[in-house]
C-alpha cells in the first residue's frame, strides 16, 4: 500500500463518516488515481467507503474536477429520483463531504482526497464476456449522456483540456518521434509507420464539430467497459464510475471508446495480437444498447459517424500509448518496461479489424 492504514485513518477522520475504521486496502482500479477500500463499523454493521487520492499530475485542478463531479452526480440523482427509479444510491455515485462540508480534503502535503459511498453488490470486468454485457454497457453510457443533456448552469470545466483533440494528440506523437529522448523509436518503428499512415482520419470529427455539423455534449470521455458496474445477480448495468473526465465533448468519442473496450475479447494490453479483433455480434448489441437510450437525443449526423468513431478513438488511444512509451512512460501506469508499446500494438491491431468491417458496422447502425 502506498499509504499505510494509520495515514488512511487520519484521512478518513476528515470526512462525514461515523464509525470506527476497521481496515483498508488498495483497490486496484484505473491507471491514474490511488484508490482504497475502507471498512467501518457503524452500529454493528460493516459499511464500506472508497477513499481516493486525485492524481495532480494528470488533473492540474482537482478542485475543478470535484466541482464537475458534484454537479454531475447531483443532477443525475435528481433526474433518477424524479423518474422514481429504484436503487438510486447504487445507480449514481454519492460523494461524502468533509467535516467542513467540502467535496474534497487537502492534506498537509497538498494532496487532494475524496470519499465515495462504496456501491455494493456490483462487479466490473476488464473485458466484455458476452453480447448481453455489451448491450448493458452501451445502454448505461447512453443513459449517462442522456441524463446530462439538460444539466443547468455554466459550461462544465474541461478537466483535461483538449482531451480528445485528435490533431493535438497526433502532433504530440510527432514531437515525441522527432525528439526520441529515450532512444525508443527504433523499437517502435512499425507502430510509428502505422500511425503516420493514418493521419488522414485525425481531423474528420474535429472538422464536423467546427462546422456545427456535430454538437457539443456533456460526455464521460473514458467509457472503458470497466467503468460500468454490473449487478452481480441480474447482470444489469447499475452505475457509471470514474467521473474525473466528465466535461464538454463529443458523444461519438464516448461511443468510440466503448467500441474499443467492449468489442474485442482481449484486454487492452493483450500480447498475442492474433486474439485481437472487433467482434460484430458484440458491436451490434453495444450499438443497440447505446441507441436505446442515447437515441433520444442524437442527431442524424452523429449517428452517421458511429462506426467511424470506433476506429478513430481506438487509433487515438493507440497513439497516446505510443507517445507515452516514446516519452518515458510519464502518464499511464505501467507494470513492465514495454507496457505502453504493448498497449499501442493492441489498439492498432483493433483499428485494422475495425477498418475491415467498418462499412458493415455502419449499415447495421443505420437500420436501428
User: Percent of the chain at pLDDT above 70?
Assistant: 98
> What is the arithmetic mean of pLDDT over 281-290?
98
For residue 104, the 8-state DSSP code is -
Q: What is the pLDDT of residue 30?
A: 61
Q: Decide if pLDDT at 331 tops 90.
A: no
Q: Decide if pLDDT at 2 tops 60.
A: no
> What is the arithmetic mean of pLDDT over 229-258?
97
Q: Decide if pLDDT at 29 tops 70.
A: no
Q: What is the pLDDT of residue 48?
A: 95
Q: What is the pLDDT of residue 133?
A: 96
Domains of the chain and CATH, by start: 5-120 (3.30.200.20), 131-367 (3.90.1200.10)
> What is the arithmetic mean of pLDDT over 328-338?
92
CA dihedral 85, 88, 90, 92 (to 10 degrees): 110
Q: How far apart are CA 59 and CA 328, in angstroms?
A: 19
Count Cβ atoms within 10 A of the Cβ of residue 347 and give its class: 0-12 exposed, 13-18 middle, 19 or more buried.
buried
Residues 354-363 have pLDDT tens digits of 999 999 999 9
φ/ψ of residue 312, rounded to 5:
-65, -50
DSSP class per residue in 301-315:
HHHHTHHHHHHHHHH
For residue 53, the cross-strand partners are: 34, 113
Q: Decide if pLDDT at 175 tops 60.
A: yes
Amino acid at each position: 500500500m502506498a499509504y499505510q492504514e494509520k495515514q488512511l485513518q487520519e484521512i478518513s477522520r476528515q470526512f462525514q463518516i461515523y464509525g470506527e475504521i476497521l481496515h483498508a486496502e488498495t483497490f486496484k482500479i484505473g491507471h491514474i488515481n490511488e484508490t482504497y477500500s475502507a471498512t467501518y463499523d457503524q452500529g454493528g454493521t460493516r459499511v464500506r467507503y472508497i477513499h481516493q487520492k486525485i492524481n495532480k499530475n494528470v488533473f492540474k485542478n482537482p478542485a475543478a474536477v470535484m466541482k464537475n463531479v458534484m454537479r454531475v452526480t447531483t443532477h443525475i440523482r435528481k433526474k433518477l429520483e424524479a423518474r422514481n427509479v429504484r436503487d438510486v444510491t447504487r445507480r449514481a455515485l454519492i460523494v461524502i463531504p468533509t467535516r467542513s462540508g467540502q467535496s474534497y480534503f487537502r492534506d498537509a502535503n497538498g494532496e487532494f482526497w475524496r470519499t465515495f459511498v462504496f456501491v455494493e453488490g456490483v462487479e466490473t470486468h476488464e473485458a466484455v464476456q458476452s453480447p448481453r454485457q455489451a448491450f448493458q454497457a452501451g445502454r448505461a453510457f447512453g443513459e449517462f449522456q442522456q441524463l446530462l443533456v439538460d444539466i443547468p448552469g455554466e459550461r462544465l470545466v474541461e478537466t483535461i483540456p483538449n482531451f480528445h483533440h485528435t490533431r493535438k494528440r497526433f502532433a504530440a506523437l510527432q514531437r515525441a518521434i522527432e525528439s526520441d529522448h529515450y532512444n525508443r523509436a527504433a523499437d517502435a518503428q512499425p507502430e510509428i509507420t502505422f500511425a503516420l499512415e493514418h493521419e488522414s482520419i485525425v481531423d474528420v470529427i474535429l472538422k464536423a464539430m467546427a462546422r456545427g455539423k456535430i454538437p457539443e455534449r456533456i460526455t464521460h470521455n473514458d467509457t472503458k467497459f470497466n467503468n460500468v458496474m454490473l449487478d452481480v445477480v441480474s447482470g444489469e448495468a447499475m452505475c457509471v464510475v470514474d467521473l474525473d473526465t466528465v466535461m464538454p465533448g463529443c458523444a461519438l468519442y464516448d461511443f468510440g471508446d466503448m467500441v474499443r473496450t467492449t468489442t474485442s475479447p482481449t484486454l487492452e494490453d493483450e500480447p498475442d495480437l492474433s486474439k485481437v479483433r472487433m467482434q460484430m455480434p458484440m458491436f451490434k448489441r453495444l450499438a443497440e444498447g447505446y441507441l436505446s437510450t442515447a437515441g433520444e437525443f442524437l442527431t442524424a449526423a452523429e449517428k452517421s459517424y458511429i462506426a467511424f468513431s470506433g476506429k478513430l478513438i481506438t487509433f487515438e488511444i493507440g497513439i497516446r500509448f505510443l507517445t507515452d512509451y516514446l516519452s518515458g512512460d510519464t502518464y499511464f501506469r505501467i507494470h513492465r518496461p514495454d507496457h505502453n508499446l504493448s498497449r499501442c500494438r493492441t489498439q492498432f491491431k483493433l483499428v485494422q479489424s475495425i477498418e475491415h468491417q467498418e462499412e458493415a458496422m455502419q449499415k447495421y447502425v443505420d437500420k436501428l
